[in-house]
Amino acid sequence: EAGVAQSPRYKIIEKRQSVAFWCNPISGHATLYWYQQILGQGPKLLIQFQNNGVVDDSQLPKDRFSAERLKGVDSTLKIQPAKLEDSAVYLCASSLVGGEQFFGPGTRLTVL
């Protein structure tokens, strides 16, 4: 079974630029999560989708972050404009409803 796919794996941008990350969940997983993992910290949930609807986006900085999950499969997370403090690994995870979360390898973002 293929795992959660994410791209790109690494991204370096200047502050105030925009960036987008892509996630392809495990086939059949209705729930998709985006996490931010700052170096030395545990993952922090940014947004949770069930199919193409948002379940929880309470910790998403909505002035600069946006996410969508069109057709309830792939998802993109966008940051516009990026700040230095956005440097982190962005993890995507997916699960069956209420089931174990499976994580992708993440995208390491460096904002200069």
Partner 1 sequence: QQQVKQSPQSLIVQKGGISIINCAYENTAFDYFPWYQQFPGKGPALLIAIRPDVSEKKEGRFTISFNKSAKQFSLHIMDSQPGDSATYFCAARDSSGSARQLTFGSGTQLTVLP
Complex with partner 1: residue 35 or 86, whichever CB lies closer: 35
CA pair distance 99, 36, nearest whole angstrom:
20
Angle 23-26-28 (CA atoms, 0-180°, nearest 5)? 120
Choose, by CB under 8 A, the member of 17, 52, 76, 101 that binds partner 1: 101
Total residues interacting with partner 1, rule: CB under 8 A: 20
Alpha-carbon dihedral sign for residues 104, 5, 48, 65: positive
For position 109 contacting partner 1 by CB under 8 A, the verdict is no
CA distances from 61 to 34, 57, 78 (A): 13, 9, 11
> Torsion-angle region of residue 86: left (phi > 0), alpha (psi -120 to 50) or beta?
alpha
Choose, by CB under 8 A, the member of 23, 30, 60, 91 that binds partner 1: 91
Choose, by CB under 8 A, the member of 19, 48, 82, 86 that binds partner 1: 48
What's the min distance (Å) between Cβ of 8 and partner 1?
Answer: 14
Choose, by CB under 8 A, the member of 19, 75, 106, 109 that binds partner 1: 106
What residues pair up with 56 in beta bridges, in sequence order?
Answer: 48
Binding site for partner 1 (CB under 8 A): 4, 33, 40-45, 48, 55-56, 91, 93, 98, 100-101, 103-106
